[in-house]
Structure 1
């Protein structure tokens, strides 16, 4: 049989009305391989072989979500891309208040809202509120060491939220 005329022998012409003989498994495999090679040639790769990385860097850009990267590095990149670094740092400060300001101060104070460089600190007594007001300069310096220079510009101190009614503490 010739390659040009399936189902015929070399030199013989196909008779009109004769159906071509079904292809064998090996012929189908050869055709599939030839098609795969042709497709690979279009893509400039060879089937069954891995692509070699270029010596100029990695094959994938991790910032585009193409390859694996460390979780911490991915989170930092996300925070940076979205402009959330300062918010995340301030949120971390709220969770780690005791380490930043010390155990004694943390027992009597808690961070409140943070907006436009102003941190609201709530105190559990008027005496501690006065103490924090006196230490506010040092507190701003310490917070800026943790969060980055210029993040906290002012500390607003609030005392206990209980309002004493007139005559409430009178002895009868």
Structure 2
């Protein structure tokens, strides 16, 4: 049985028992570290805070706008006030226009008076949300307008009696 025919386990056993000399090509190779970032005790190796890591991850992934909008909706009560939030809720945010639905037209009108204050607070707390304007609407009522253009006047309701 030659060296090439012997299984690796048998060759290792014979080498360790001193019956065969080890090959000179076998040497313990040292790991060469070319990357200084992975070397121990270098700056930047300390673990970061979870909040800062999540902030950088959301910034790199482009989630800042979406997360700011979600926070705005979730924290509407804190932003507008708890009493006001009982009677209103944000329903959509499109093209910089935040639409808030109110329980009654009276609440919609009151919030319209507070519009500048609420818009300033949104800009201060959630600058990445992209809110440029506010619109307050009352409860849903049937609308007879269809499409972007409508004929002025009473329309089909003038025959109701």
Mapped partners of 2:114, 2:43: distance in 1: 55
Cα RMSD for the two superposed structures = 3.7
Partner of 1:44: 32
**Cα drift, residue 54 of structure 1:** 5.6
Partner of 1:35: 26
2:73 maps to 1:94: yes
**Cα drift, residue 72 of structure 1:** 2.6
1:79 pairs with one of 43, 47, 58: 58
For structure 1, which runs of at least 5 residues remain unmatched after alignment?
1-21, 46-50, 60-67, 167-172
**Cα drift, residue 127 of structure 1:** 0.6
Describe the SS at the equivalent of 1:160: coil
Residues 99 and 31 from structure 1, CA distance in 2 versus in 1: closer, same or farther, beyond 3 angstroms?
farther
Q: Higher relative contact order at CA 8 Å, sep ≥6: structure 1 or structure 2?
A: 2
* Structure 1 stretches of at least 4 aligned residues deviating more than 6 Å after TM superposition: none
Residues 93 and 56 from structure 1, CA distance in 2 versus in 1: closer, same or farther, beyond 3 angstroms?
closer
**Cα drift, residue 150 of structure 1:** 8.5
Count of aligned residue pairs for this structure pair = 129
Partner of 1:134: 113
Partner of 1:144: 123
For structure 2, which runs of at least 5 residues remain unmatched after alignment?
1-12, 144-156
Residues 117 and 26 from structure 1, CA distance in 2 versus in 1: closer, same or farther, beyond 3 angstroms?
farther
Q: Say if 1:136 and 1:155, in contact at 8 Å, map to a contact too.
A: yes
Describe the SS at the equivalent of 1:80: helix
1:53 pairs with one of 32, 40, 44: 40
1:26-76 CA-to-partner distances (Å, cap 9, x unmatched) read 449x849x8351x22xx437xxxxx962645439xxxxxxxx654433321
